[in-house]
Structure 1
């Protein structure tokens, strides 16, 4: 039981330490969240990334970096079939 508590504590610490990518601003992250919500909250396929890039003006690499950040921060969950689902804001 102690191991489970340690793992939960470690995950909480890691998510609290997640830092946004250096290549984007908080405004970029807000635009990303709105764009992902507009396509149904999932980022799994090419057809998901393109509209987010167009709506935000971000590059593919920046969108990928924000997606990784959202996972690390606990604002998204991995989907079993691949990709992620945003779980905050309009996607909560």
Structure 2
């Protein structure tokens, strides 16, 4: 389902100034980016988000907030299929 990408898009307005989400540490961001890279840098369905959340030790809310933050910060981009692709670090 593309629900998670849509939820992340909803958080973009909240992350308008590109500040890391409240309650998310720099380590959480790094763990998230590492986990996303391990699944091929793209997240489209729940099957993509679940391993990222498990590997990074994040809740769904944290992972959606981080996704929205990275979209706002220009470190991720929306895909035509409704997903999100990380475009920095190991995913550059």
TM-score, normalised with respect to structure 1? 0.81
Unpaired runs of 5+ in structure 1? Answer: 1-16
In the alignment, the residues of structure 1 paired with residue 44 and residue 64 of structure 2 have an alpha-carbon distance, to the nearest angstrom, of 11
Matched, 1:34 2:34: yes
TM-fit CA distance, 1:44: 1.1
CA radius of gyration, larger in? 1
Count matched residues: 78
Give the RMSD, CA atoms, in angstroms: 1.6
Give the corresponding residue for 2:75.
75
Ranges of 4+ aligned residues in structure 1 off by more than 6 Å: none
Please say if 1:19 is aligned against 2:19.
yes
Give the helix-richer structure, 1 or 2: 1
TM-score, structure 2 normalization: 0.81
Taking the aligned partners of 1:83 and 1:62, their CA distance within structure 2 comes to 17
What is the alpha-carbon distance in structure 2 between the residues aligned to residue 57 and residue 79 of structure 1? 25
Unmatched tracts of structure 2, length 5 or more: 1-16
Which residue in the other structure is 1:12 paired with?
none
Query: CA deviation digits over 1:4-32, x for unaligned, max 9?
Result: xxxxxxxxxxxxx4100012101100000
